[in-house]
């Protein structure tokens, strides 16, 4: 749980980002390909974080923006202060899950993340058919994109047998230390 004030220090210690360095030039939002879809574009996220107000922080944890960010790094490349917004977004996604504040609209994105990680956890690599099946079961969206499956299969993009890494133990160790 947060204190009423004080998450800025937590952000700094977990991500290295000092939100107070942002001077609201807006270059991050201008360069973000998904800013228009976001409820809070990256520069607005920074402004809200600077208030150090727990209500604003919770609002961001329950926002769609943190799930729409695709970690493309465009904002970081453009930022004159080199503020690592993608890392910040990762931190907030993790926090939103832990504090059960994930917005309903983002459930399908979270399902995709989980299906992706399940695939990597069990095979050590991405197993596309496993990923698709896992995602569909999680979202009950069974017929989505079914029309493209035959073409992908014919082009060899959907191998039937998963490729396994040799040392699965190492993968399990990584997941046991990091999965939330």
The residue (of 67 and 127) whose beta carbon lies closer to ligand SF4 is 67
Which residues fall within 8 angstroms of residue 72, CB to CB, at 6 or more apart? 32, 33, 86
DSSP 3-state assignment of 43? helix
> How many residues appear in the chain?
180
Distance from C-alpha of 126 to C-alpha of 122, rounded to nearest angstrom: 9
Closest CA to 79 of 127, 131, 26, 35: 26
Residue 118 beta carbon to ligand SF4: minimum distance, rounded to whole angstroms: 24
The residue (of 81 and 110) whose beta carbon lies closer to ligand SF4 is 81
Look-up of token digits 């991405």: 126
Distance from C-alpha of 85 to C-alpha of 29, rounded to nearest angstrom: 11
Residue 115 beta carbon to ligand SF4: minimum distance, rounded to whole angstroms: 21
Residue 82 beta carbon to ligand SF4: minimum distance, rounded to whole angstroms: 8
The residue (of 91 and 122) whose beta carbon lies closer to ligand SF4 is 91
Write out the residues near ligand SF4 by the rule CB under 6 A.
Answer: 22-28, 31-32, 34, 42-43, 46, 69-75, 78-81, 83, 85-86, 89
Residue 97 beta carbon to ligand SF4: minimum distance, rounded to whole angstroms: 18
């Amino acid at each position: 749980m947060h204190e009423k004030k004080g998450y800025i220090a937590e952000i700094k210690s977990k991500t290295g980002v000092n939100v107070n360095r942002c001077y609201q030039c807006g270059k991050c939002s201008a360069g973000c390909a998904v800013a228009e879809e976001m409820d809070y574009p990256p520069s607005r996220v920074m402004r809200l974080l600077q208030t150090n107000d727990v209500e604003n922080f919770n609002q961001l944890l329950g926002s769609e923006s943190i799930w729409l960010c695709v970690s493309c790094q465009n904002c970081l490349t453009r930022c004159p202060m080199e503020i690592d917004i993608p890392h910040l977004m990762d931190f907030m996604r993790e926090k939103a899950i832990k504090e059960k504040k994930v917005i309903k609209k983002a459930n399908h994105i979270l399902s995709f993340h989980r299906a992706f990680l399940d695939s990597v956890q069990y095979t050590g690599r991405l197993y596309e058919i496993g990923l698709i099946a896992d995602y569909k079961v999680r979202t009950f969206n069974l017929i989505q994109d079914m029309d493209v499956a035959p073409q992908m299969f014919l082009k060899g993009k959907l191998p039937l047998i998963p490729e396994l890494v040799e040392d699965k133990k190492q993968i399990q160790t990584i997941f046991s230390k990091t999965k939330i």
